Chains A and B, each alone.
Chain A
């Protein structure tokens, strides 16, 4: 009886719907969203000291936002020379027709103020010029010298409001800064904002450093360096500068990475030509062996829920990607294509695993689902590896080496990022050659 009633209802609703002409729109412009970012308006210029004026915040702060949004590939920021309305007025109430005239669908305005405590107050407003309404606004307080972080946080808010997913601009990247000739390469640990600004070196370059990885809260870094001529995994607290060797292993340890809760470090430990995967609890220093196989197991990476681990192993005779439970059970090979697969990294969203693939002498960065299906190769080059995820799982950063001439001149290593769609491949500017990047989580979280 119920089924009968439902079918009558369904029939009646469908009959009713036919009174309206329905058109399916399944195509549209795949162009970045045209956006305008006006210069910010200074409310109390008399309180801006000479030093603060030197920062030229009214132009530089929106300029950082512009660079962030443009580099994401999802926004096209219109040149400010085309803007008609004065920023003084646009912040209070944009004349929407002026902004629509220059094809801006979204407009960002802002106001700067130094408060009584000497703090910088930045107020930003996001406008939908087509619907003629404000869609987001926020006020931020910080010391004037922290203006770059404010710009990154504003960029994240805009990105989130207009894309529906978290931003990744208020983040840092740790990497290995390389300098000097190939035979005497100096490798320092360096840290910078995701846009390449505020670069700082964390080590002097006396020892070789490799594979730095951020802890989930961004306060610690684990990396590989040399201790008594043996490669060992280190921990570095970037707030205090204190560094220490992880565990007392009688052989070499390498390829470290934090667990998602930040309590453990997972790494490879090699002895007598065999390497297995181990974890060490940072607080209790308890060591646990996860894999036990005569093959080489390395490059472990936890799933974001901490229940699974992906790693690469040559147990099938050729280097492939595997997954297993966090306790080492249920080992499953997931990569099936031809070629070698390595450096698997689980996405922060949990849906994909990024990897490096070597096939017919070429290096690829790709992604696949966690069961190995849906493999997509995003970029191909002479030599590239070590993908690392942005905190929203949307972008990958990796490094690429360029082949030099016969004399070795022209060779170099640089950081690149690419969207998981395979579009928007961009080079990240660094002071020196750079390799082994690792993306932090959102600092403001």
Chain B
């Protein structure tokens, strides 16, 4: 009697224990639900994009102090580069004086504005029909100046559309093109069916180094919905800077000191 009772209790306990152990598994949802994750995002570009960050400078100096030896080893090449630059330029004083003179003569600021207004994208917005007369007067003066210059410069050929008259021969143009092509990484994600042409205006020194570079349709970069144009423009600027200095003809600086590069990746992207 006593035995059977204890056996019954053990047996029942076993059943209860088994039920307790297995029920949670049976009741558990078969789905392993992925957890919800919340992430906060904060724009920090206003702080980080400062041209001179005093705090960063302090930290850099501290770290530099910690690694004095390493820094000392890395430091000399900087000086060497500076020296090289000075050596590489034969007559720095003359060039420094010459360049501003040239730009003043050409009145580049006005020219740049004209070019900006002439862009297909901005012309429509800027154009004011009431000021047409004023524009014509100005344009007449410009035209007269250009005509004078052309008459002076024209010697053999009278056709202004021929590349030779513009200052560079076709082979010289091809040589410049070949340099830029090597430096230009076309952004592969761009759509091939959109009209994206980036025009960059360069002013070049005699040694082919870039004095200034400017995107002619700069305003388009910051317009909403022009993300692809911005990407292409930035890639074109990178190409120009990577190619700096350009290998230019040794003579005729006057002819090629102003250069416009039109970057168009459509053909390449279409494949």
Contacts and interface: CB of A to CB of B under 8 A. Distances in A.
Given A105-B238, A128-B234, A131-B238, A89 B60 contact: yes
A182 B26 CA distance: 29
Interface string A113-133: 000000000010100101101
Interface size range of chain A in the complex: 35 or more
Given A140-B39, A142-B37, A200-B34, A9 B189 contact: no
B31 A164 contact: no
A183 interface: no
B245 interface: no
B186 A23 contact: no
Given A131-B241, A163-B187, A88 B63 contact: yes
Interface stretch (B4-12, B40-48, B88-96): B40-48
B209 interface: no
Contacts of B45: 134, 136-138
Nearest to B40: A141
A27 interface: yes
A130 to B, nearest CB: 4
B238 A8 contact: no
Nearest to B38: A142
Contact of B228 (A5, A34, A105, A165): A165
A30 B168 CA distance: 28
Contacts of B160: 18
Given A23-B259, A26-B268, A32-B188, A150 B39 contact: yes
A181 interface: no
A138 B227 contact: no
B189 A394 contact: yes
A126 to B, nearest CB: 10
Interface stretch (B16-24, B97-105, B175-183): B175-183
Given A25-B181, A191-B34, A20 B188 contact: no
Contacts of B259: 20-23
Contacts of B38: 142
B139 A9 contact: yes
Interface string A83-98: 0001011001100000
Interface in B108-156: 114-115, 118, 129, 132, 135-136, 139-140, 142-143, 146, 149
Contact of A16 (B31, B142, B180): B142
A198 B254 CA distance: 63
B63 A130 contact: no
Contacts of A32: 188
Interface residues of B, number: 81
A138 B228 contact: no
Interface in A371-422: 394, 421
Contacts, number: 223
Interface in B18-71: 29-34, 36-45, 48-49, 53, 56, 59-60, 63, 67
B163 to A, nearest CB: 9
Contact of B166 (A9, A18, A137, A172): A18
Contacts of A149: 37, 39
A198 B32 CA distance: 11
Given A28-B186, A105-B238, A149-B39, A21 B32 contact: no
B210 interface: no
Contact of B237 (A131, A198, A421): A131
Given A25-B181, A239-B33, A130 B241 contact: yes
Interface in B213-254: 227-231, 234, 236-239, 241-242
A231 interface: no
6 contacts: A18-B166, A21-B259, A73-B188, A128-B234, A131-B237, A165-B228
Interface of A: 2, 5, 8-9, 12-13, 15-34, 73-74, 86, 88-89, 92-93, 105, 123, 125, 128, 130-131, 133-143, 146, 149-150, 153, 160, 162-165, 172, 191, 198, 200-204, 236, 238-241, 394, 421, 444
9 nearest A-B pairs in the assembled complex, by CB-CB distance: A28-B184, A163-B189, A164-B227, A241-B31, A164-B228, A164-B231, A12-B139, A141-B40, A28-B186
